[in-house]
Each structure stands twice: as C-alpha cells, then as structure tokens.
Structure 1
C-alpha cells in the first residue's frame, strides 16, 4: 500500500493514463471481435464468397463511393466558390441553406425519390398522361432504382461535407494569390482551376472522404435502390444466410476502404498548412455579378437545396399532413420515446467519455495515451453494420457466461442481459459517435489557456478540481454542441440500430425503414419528418460557426 502511494505521488497522473488506455481498449473491443470472428470462422465460406458475391459487392461499392465522391466534389466545390467569391441575389440566405440537406438522412431521401420517380410515381404518371402514353415501352425514363440513381440522390444530401470544407478553405485564401493570377492574364475560370482549386485541394479531400464514409455506412438507401454494396452484403450474409463468420470476413474487406478514406482525410489535414498565413495577405473580396449572371448564380446555388431538401421535404410534409391522424399512433409515440431516451443516454455517455479522454490527453498525454485516444475515435469511420456485429458478439458471449454461472450457482438462467437490451444500442452509439464528442471537447480545451489550470493547481486544486472549477465553465458551449451533435446523429442512425435493437423495439429510424420497405411511405412520413427536423440542429450550429469565421474585409451582397 505504501509502495503504491509513493508511486502515485511520483506520477500524480497515473490513474488518468491508465483510465484513458482502459476506456480506449473497451471502445476498440468491437473491432477486435470482428477480426477474431473473421480469422476463426465456424464455417469458412471465404472461397465461396470470393468466387460468387464478393467481386460484385466490391465493384458496386467502389462505383457508388467514387460516383458520390465525384458528384459531391462538383456540387460542393462549385457552390462554395460562388458563395465565397461572388455577390448575387439571395447569397446571404443560400450560404446557410446549402447546409440544410445535411439534415436529410440518405435513407429518407432515397425513399422519397423512389416514390416520386418510379414508374407508378406521380412524376412518370403525369408524364404519361400529358404525352398520351399508355405503356413503359413508349418512352424512355432513367431507372431511379439503380447505381446511377443512388449516386445522384445520395450526393444531394452528402455534398455539404465538401461545401463546408471547401468554403472554409476559400475564405482563408489570400487575395494576393488570386490578383497575381489575374495580372498574368488568367480568366476567372483560369484563376479557379490554376490557383484557388490547388490551394483548396487538401480541404476538399477531407470533405470528399467524409462524404464517402457516409456512403459506405449506408444500408437503407442502397437496399432501396437495389445496389449490392459490402454493407448490404454483411447484413444479408449474417441475417439472411445465418453465417456470422462470413459476415465478419466481408467486414474485414470493408476495413480496406475505411483505412484508405482515413488516410485520405489525414493526408488532407496534414496538408492544410499549405495555405499562406502571412500577415500581409488579405481575405478575398467578392465580385458583384451583373445582368443574367447574378440570377444564374442564384439558380445554380438553389438547385442543390431544392433537390436535396425542399423537394423531398415538401413531399414528406404533404404526406405527414394528409396522414397525421393515421400516423400519430401509440406506436409512433413509443418510437419517439425510445429514440429520445436512447439518444439522450448515448449523448450523455459520449460527452462524459469524450471529456475524460480529452482531459486525460491534455494533462497526462504521452505516446501511449495519444495513440489510445486516437484509436478510440476511429469508430466514426467504421460502418454501423460492422460495429453492430463487433458489439453484439462479445456482449452475447458475456450474457452466455453470466447465464451459465447463474444457472450452475443459483439454479436459474439470467437470459440476455446486455445483448437483449438497450445497453447494446447505447454502447454502439457511443463507439460510433465518440469522435464527434471528443473532437468538439478537445477543441474547446485547447482554447483554455494553460496558465489558468496551472494557477488552479498552484492554489491546491487537484486535476479533477481544476477541471470542475476552471475548464468546465469555459468549455460549456463545446459541451452543449457536442451533446447536441451526438444526440442528432443517434436519432438518425439506422444500420447499427437495426442490428442491435431488442426484439419488437422500434426507434424513429427503424420505423421509417420498416414502413418504407413495405411501400408505406405515407405512413412513415411523420417519423421521417421528425428525424429531418432534428437534423436542423447541427446545421444551425455549423452555420453559426462558419459565420464566426467570416473574413472581415469581404464585401458584396
């Protein structure tokens, strides 16, 4: 006891280091479980997967990801450039409206677009009636249930990732670089392609990689569009074919995509120092457009908002109003309560763990702690389907061990304590969205002057006391924003919820998925609209953040 006390006095931060490493190890347990299952399957179907479905899964996943990456790059970068560089009617409103499609989950917009544009939908029905056609063979219309349809529709709600990073980069660029290019005779398009775009390339790469991560995580949209991706392959191999080992082997293949995207995102962040930081540089000045160009810019910036939010949101609103009496049932109320309880628990736990890891890394960070904390935040890049498998298996093993012990010792079985309860979903949410909480809180702590904490320690405050009395009051905005962002993402999460939820347990996302899968979009509209409305919260936070970084010398409407 004395020896331990002496050791603890020599290293007052020992418990912070040990705690950070242990918590990080617990959060990495799902990934370790997947690797174990893939390497030790009860039935090795890997040769069968390679010879049959895996090549198709790989091809369609790659096609979808690169298609979404390319289209989000075009939409996000072009709109960010116009908003940053030009003044035109409605620019002030459009600069935050372009973020609004981020509130629309991919699976919800997929359901609405298929309902609108399939053969029996209102658009093609009106087209046939107007043209006098009576059969599909009389005209051509692109198939919305296709890879191309999935790329187009998913890009409409994922482009804001690129818009955010591209616009932030364009706003930081020096007007001197652009003026030099113009002096050398470059046209506005030439300035964009030869100067602005190369300078913004690292930031844009981060946005594109985030959009592709969201694309890789999706299950509801790709299933509705009929695209056979790796995520859907994991789900069908496990639940459809009953082969957990095969699903884990496909999950390992997904890690290749995840690692590539993480490398792209990390590469982009490292290269962001490429931008000039000279005190003699000035922010860019907006050019006021004249004539038809001003209205063309307004239209081009409104199109992503119209197709990505206004059109599907309007359809959902009309359905919700028309079927409100039928949709506002006790089952809907139960789904709302379940969603709020789950999201609240997960957000609270994620904020507490994120704060602990960020503070431990700040006061006791060595190489081991930094590596552990960084690895613990990798869950956001892992698709929810993969995490679901990695979480359910160790929890089920724990339940079985506890049940055997209780039966042998006390003569009764405890059943499924963890894997059959909301604890499994809560743990999944925390693992998946800890990166959001930790990132916000780490940024907040970095803004606290170290001398304040040092002064508190000089006055006899322990690390916990310094955190309570000094840091927490100063990082309250970061705590609130972290909790809100995690809360909203938990409400929208579908893949992990589908796998980890208890029997006969519905959340808003699973209710939308179930009803839409039965072609009952009208009945799911109220639940979908509730999710979309909650998604407006992070959009407001993002828009305020971007306004706070607005260059002071910018001009134009």
Structure 2
C-alpha cells in the first residue's frame, strides 16, 4: 500500500510537469482557432502568402545547399584518408557555435557596396559607380539561404558521417569489386543506405531554418517567423500571431512526420558494435589535396573568417566593447541560464525516475508532453507562453479588483515569462541527457536498495544521483549554453529595459554597429563551442 501511494505521488508530479510544460502549446492551438476577422484576414488578403512562399523557398534552398556541402564532407571524413582528415573530422562542426545573425552581419559588412571587397574591386578595375559592374546583393533571400546553410550544414554532416561509420564496409567493398568508382559507390551505395539518417538531418535543418529569426529579419526577408514577430509588435494581435504560429506548426508537423517515416522505413542490413575507424580510400596527389582544400574552404568561410573578423573588431574597439554593459548583460544572462538549468535538471531527474519505477505503459507520456516545446521556434514559443500568462494576469487583476492591490503584469511582464519559456523550450535537452545516463544504471541496484529497506526517494537520492552526476552536469551545461544563445524568445518576452547578451548583440547588429558589441559576440561564440567539445569527446570515446 505504501509503495502504491508513493508511486501515485510520483505519477502526479510527472503529469503535473508534463501538463504545465505542454500548456503553452495547448493554449496556442486554442487561441489560433479563435475568430479574428480583422488583422488575420488583412494579412491573408495581402502579404501572408508571400510569407509562406519565402519560408518554403528558404527551407528548400537551405536543404539543397546544406546537402551539397555536408554530404561530400561526411563521406570524405568517414571513408577517405587525406591530409588533415583527423582535424577536419571535428573542426567541421565548429560553425554550429556561430549564431547566424553574426555571420550574416560579417559578410554583409565585407560584401556590401561600402565594404572592403567592392571598394577593392573598384580600385583595381577603375569602376566608378554600380552602373559599371554587377555584384550580387547579399541582403536577399538567396543571401539568407547561404548564411543559414553555412551554420546549419554540420547537423547533416555529423548525422551522415556517423551513419557511414556505423555501416559495414563490406557493401562498399563489394561495389569496388564490381568495378564501381568511389563516386559511383557514394551515389549508389552510401547515399541509399543512409537515406534515413539524411532525411533526419534535413528535417532538423528545416526546423532550425524555419525557426531562424535574426538573419531573415536583418536581411528584410519576410518569413512566417518574422510575421509572428511583426504581427504581435505591430498589430498587437495575439490571436493573429497565434494563427500564423499555427501555420508554422503544420510545417513542423510535416517535418517531424517525414523524419519518423524515414526512420521506420530505414532497413539496417548489418549491425556493428563499434564504429569503423579505418578508411576505405587512400587519396593521393591532386585528389588528396583537393579534399583538404574543400574542407579548408568550407571551414574558413563558415567559421574561421567570421571569427577572425569578430576578433579584429574586439581588438580595434575594445575600449568601447569592454564596458559595464557587457558585464551587466552577461551577469543577467548567467542568472537566467543558471536558474533554468537547475530547474530543468531537477524536473528531468524526477520525470525520468518516475518512468523508471512505473510499469504503466503510459509512463512516458508526461515526458513526451513536457518535451513538445523544443520543436517550437522562439517566436512561436513566445506567443504560446504569453497566452496563458496574460490570461492568468487578467484573471488575477479582476479577482483583486477593489482590494487595493493591483499586481499588474505579474507574470507576463516580468522575468518569470522568460524563465518559463526557456524551461519549456529546453526541457527536452535536459531530459535526453538524463535519460541517457539513467539507461546505464542497472535495475539490480534498485532492487538491492529496496531490499535493504530504502524508500524510492532514498534510492534515487543515495544510489542514482551519485551515478548520474556526469549526465546531470552535461544536461545542465547544454541547457545553460542554449539559454545564453536564445534570441527570438528573449526579444519578445524580456521585461522593459532588460537585456541579455543575445539581445544586446542583436540590437547592435540591427544598428549596423556590431563592432561596439564584438566582445559580447565573441563570448557567445566561445560559449557555443563547449557542447561541440563534449560531442567530439563522446564520439571519440565511442569509437
């Protein structure tokens, strides 16, 4: 009886977390179904289809360009020996640490009419005006595609390279015996066998592309993400913003469905306990140096050059950039990220422990509900969080009307909204890391603890937590870093006159003055390198 009562308490707590963190999505769907005859109808009749069209073309363009970059890189580093291979295996993931709006600003500054590239061209060839020559405009939809693809291609690169390393070499070797060239083996063997992994990587890239706000907003490219932002801040229509968010949810549902279908239809022909560490092709001569040159070019364009430009800004403008604002906003970002990391880790441990001790087939449902926020783009998440918090504030003020105390925007207008949004968005990261660590704890330890008369809570506290320290630390670190980098939700939910490092940097980017916040920008990039280091160490350990 005591065990049943204890289990019911864990179940109640798990469902409380699940429903609380999934509530914004449920309120968003409900709000999107409400009538709004003015604003949304006006957008529908005028610009909404342009938003949809630009979003679709942006996703298609990023998918194509990311594939062109990532698939050859993944194949080269997985199967081929060439100068610098070991370095490029992990270095090609570094662009993930670069926020897209930073790389967009750097290349805009370099390639604009008043930038050093076009100035040098005019000096060399004696051109006097734009009528004398043609130069592509980077602040276009095509430019946004290039900028986003340079940052997101590592998702597909990492997933595809891992899939190739886990495949058996025998099938590729068989194609060699049949007289197939390396290119033919790549196209006819490696790509088909990895189609599930490729679709999963492209689905992730498409979701991240649709979620991007800063780059498209900076380039003045109207997408559904910017439509949500403009509708809320321009028209102050929460319902219209929710309806546009509902359209984005349909795109997300399509991407997730395609990813799940690809995994279910993917056939594993041969399982291997470890990854392949040897190579199939030993490139020599011009082919070897061509592979090195291609990897160097991609890494240089996507990470090295933007980082060097930011470092140059930081050196040249260190007196203006190294100021009180940097420390103030860094401390504010640190506090928020720390609180979110602690709360997420506590909830993730309790949720995962309930899943471990419960025999109910629906025990995983609360965790799945709680993880729904991770798929939401930042702007959509902000609207989803605002709806229930605004309703709560309205009802509270009505209830206290005449009592002499008017709390005002107690939740929706304070830092609570930002913290809650971060918890909703990044809970899935924390839970994933904790679940991964929990799977390595033998159930026999639980039975031994219970046989010694320890309660379930004592088992978790005295047995599991010491063994989960590394997993919890990893979860806290990943959530902390994501909080430091998050921009769209912070722009919409931060209290008045409150800045994080991400919003501080983006304000200067919008004003074409990133130089004055270059140290803050470099700090964000350096923080973003930490999870890449952890991923690389994990992969080296497994191999």
**TM category, shorter:** over 0.9
**Partner SS, residue 28 of structure 1:** helix
Could you say if the C-alpha distance between residues 325 and 14 of structure 1 is closer, same or farther in structure 2, counting changes exceeding 3 Å?
Answer: same
1:132 aligned onto 2:126 = yes
Is 1:158 aligned to residue 152 of structure 2? yes
1:524 aligns with 2:517: yes
Which of residues 307, 324, 331 is equivalent to 2:318? Answer: 324
Is 1:315 paired with 2:317?
A: no
Which one of the candidate residues 477, 499, 517 is aligned to 2:492? 499
CA distance in 2, matches of 1:81, 1:133: 43
Count of matched residue pairs: 543
Distance 1:235 1:101 in 2: 26
CA distance in 2, matches of 1:99, 1:365: 40
Q: Which runs of 5+ in 2 are unaligned?
A: none
Where do 1:178-327 residues align within 5 Å? 178-271=172-265, 274-277=268-271, 285-327=279-321
Q: 1:398 aligns with which of 368, 392, 400?
A: 392
Cα 1:190–1:33 change in 2 (3 A) is: same
Of 428-437 and 204-213, deviating more is 204-213
Whole-angstrom distance in 2 between the partners of 1:10 and 1:490: 38
Secondary structure at the counterpart of residue 526 of structure 1: helix
- Deviates further, 246-255 or 296-305: 296-305
- In structure 2, what is the equivalent of residue 427 of structure 1? 420
User: Structure 1 residue 336: deviation in Å?
Assistant: 0.7
Aligned to 1:545: 538
Counterpart in 2 of 1:24? 18
Deviations 1:491-548 (A, max 9, x none): 1110000011000001111011111111112112121111001001011011111212
- After superposition, residues 21-170 of structure 1 pair within 5 angstroms as 21-41=15-35, 43-170=37-164
Q: Which residue is equivalent to 2:483?
A: 490
Residue 350 of structure 2: which of 344, 347, 356 is its match? Answer: 356
Say whether the 8 Å CA contact 2:166–2:274 is kept in structure 1: no
Matched residue, 1:554 = none
Preserved CA contact (<8 Å) 1:41 1:246: no
* Equivalent residues of 2:167, 2:272 under 8 A apart: no
1:68 Cα deviation from its structure 2 partner: 0.8
Q: Kindly report the root-mean-square deviation, in angstroms, between the aligned alpha carbons of the 2 structures.
A: 1.8
Indicate yes or no: 2:439 matched with 1:462: no
Distance between the aligned counterparts of 1:281 and 1:421, measured in 2? 49
Provide closer, same or farther for how the CA distance between residues 264 and 280 of structure 1 changes in structure 2, counting only shifts above 3 A: closer
CA contact (8 A) 1:361 1:370 kept: yes
Residue of structure 2 equivalent to 1:368: 362
TM-score normalised according to structure 2 size: 0.96
Distance 1:280 1:339 in 2: 40
SS at match of 1:525: helix
CA distance in 1, matches of 2:40, 2:269: 47
Give the secondary-structure state (helix, strand or coil) at the position aligned to 2:363. Answer: helix
Distance between the aligned counterparts of 1:109 and 1:387, measured in 2? Answer: 24
Quote how far apart the aligned CAs of 1:278 are.
6.0
Distance 1:30 1:281 in 2: 41
Greater shift, 41-50 or 185-194, is seen at: 41-50
The structure 1 residue matched to 2:529, chosen from 536, 539, 557, is 536
Secondary structure class of the residue paired with 2:271? coil
CA contact (8 A) 2:275 2:542 kept: no
CA distance 1:28–1:130, shift in 2 (3 Å):
same
**Aligned counterparts of 2:512 and 2:26: Cα–Cα separation in 1:** 38
